[in-house]
Structure 1
Amino acid sequence: MSTRHLPRHGLLLLAATLTLSACGGGSGSASSSAPDRDGISRVAPAERQPLQGLAGRTLEDKRLDVADYRGEVVVVNIWASQCGPCRAEASSLAAVAEETRAEGVRFVGINTRDPSPEAARAFEKRYRVPYPSLYDRMGKLVLAFPRGSVNPQTVPATVFLDRRGRIAARALRPLGEADLRKVITPLAAEKRA
């Protein structure tokens, strides 16, 4: 496509679109629930699928199994250090993780696509990420999610688990603090299993 004939705002829009799509690769995964107007797909309690087998080594080389958080709401954020939208949402994730911890909410990151843990650790330090991230260089951990719940090519992606370890919501876009609270607040209010 020639850009010589596009007005300046058209060039800016094209650049923004290319930047956003560079991280994600699209959101073409199937879903049992269509996204709301806010771009977040929510799943009714009777239709929720369990997330099993999400475990591995963190960026600090410690063992982490998401099943250990059963009984708590878990927010799983899939990210990469070179992803602009991931950087844009990092501060919001960190703030809400700190603020909701006392409510029984745990955050876990999955760092993917980084060739070594050093870049990912630098990202976490820069954005003061207070929660652990599993290191998933090859994207194998993302395959633990039920088919259609996330697109392995899309970062950032955020999956919300209810207290029973079932997928309750997901977003295939960067999230702000208000977005996160809008999903976490009703999940935290659900009765403990």
Structure 2
Amino acid sequence: MPSTNTGTRRRRAVPLLSAAVLATVLALTGCAGGTEIQTGGEEDRFISGDGSATVFEAGDRVPVPEVGGTTFEGDELALADYEGRILVLNVWASWCGPCRAEQPVLDEVFAEYGGLGVDFLGVNIKDNETAALAYTENKGVEYPSLYDQPGEIPQAFRETVPPRAIPSTLVISPEGEIAARVIGPTTYGQLTGLLDPLVVEYGFGDPEDRPRVSEQESAEPEDTEEADDADASDAPRTEADG
């Protein structure tokens, strides 16, 4: 059976509102904690995400649909191309505040888990292509994203485990089955906690041995300072130096 972890964030109870008032509230709040977008009928509605995660054990996993699309660079990619690797599929939009907030997390985990059989693929929906491409360039996102303005890829998951919020993240096993889902922005601890068991399950290595971006970044200033000192000591002395 799937297990759900809502973390420390809780939704506050809100009074029952009329449809008109609720629509006004949603229009004003936008993407403050995820977003809700009407893409069709009631079953197609995207809802606000609270960052909760659901894990599916091996016997409870369902296959992903046969979907794909075109990246900003014009390359054709399908989910089937990632079979044999763990895939982190992230649904995002450039105008979404929580998406921008979680981007450093995705970048950090991507950098650390590439050698452990993990790939990343973004799905950009309900967005302007120029704005979305500028987002990836400005943020320095190194993994590809499919441009899916209508949101057809998330809709293809409707009979399985749909990513119903922006942002949402699906963790897909090397066998092409959904192993976990996060509705709303994810965190470093949450995402690595979802990946580690899969990395071990499929024998891709020991997650504890992965390079840590935070440790590398903290060491950079010291390395730079030592290099500067070394350069200064190696520089030829002049008469002005005494």
| Structure number with larger C-alpha Rg | 2
Residue aligned with 1:74, SS = strand
Q: 2:150 aligns with which of 116, 138, 161?
A: 138
User: What TM-score, normalized to structure 1?
Assistant: 0.79
1:47 to partner: Cα distance: 1.0
**CA contact 1:150–1:172 (8 Å) conserved in 2:** no
**CA contact 1:150–1:157 (8 Å) conserved in 2:** no
User: What TM-score, normalized to structure 2?
Assistant: 0.64
Q: 1:25 aligns with which of 23, 36, 52?
A: 36
Look up the match of 2:18.
none
How many residue pairs match? The answer is 168
Q: 1:62 aligns with which of 67, 70, 75?
A: 75
- Alignment of 1:124 with 2:136, yes or no, is yes
Structure 2 distance, partners of 1:38, 1:119, is 25
**CA contact 2:51–2:182 (8 Å) conserved in 1:** no
Structure 1 distance, partners of 2:30, 2:147, is 24
Residue aligned with 2:94, SS = coil
Q: Relative to 1, partners in 2 of residues 1:38 and 1:62: Cα closer, same or farther, differing over 3 Å?
A: closer
After the TM superposition, which residues 38-53 of structure 1 pair with which residues of structure 2 at under 5 Å, given as runs? 39-53=52-66
Look up the match of 2:231.
none
1:50 counterpart letter in structure 2: P
Look up the match of 1:107.
120
> Structure 2: any 5+ residue segments left out of the alignment?
1-24, 44-49, 204-242
Look up the match of 1:191.
202
> Would you identify which runs of 4 or more consecutive aligned residues in structure 1 move more than 3 Å?
19-23
Instruction: Calculate the aligned-residue CA RMSD, in Å.
Output: 2.5
1:38 to partner: Cα distance: 6.9
Structure 2 distance, partners of 1:18, 1:144, is 27
Structure 1 distance, partners of 2:73, 2:30, is 30
1:52 to partner: Cα distance: 2.4
1:147 to partner: Cα distance: 2.2
Look up the match of 1:149.
161
1:25 counterpart letter in structure 2: E
1:68 to partner: Cα distance: 1.1
Structure 2 distance, partners of 1:163, 1:82, is 31
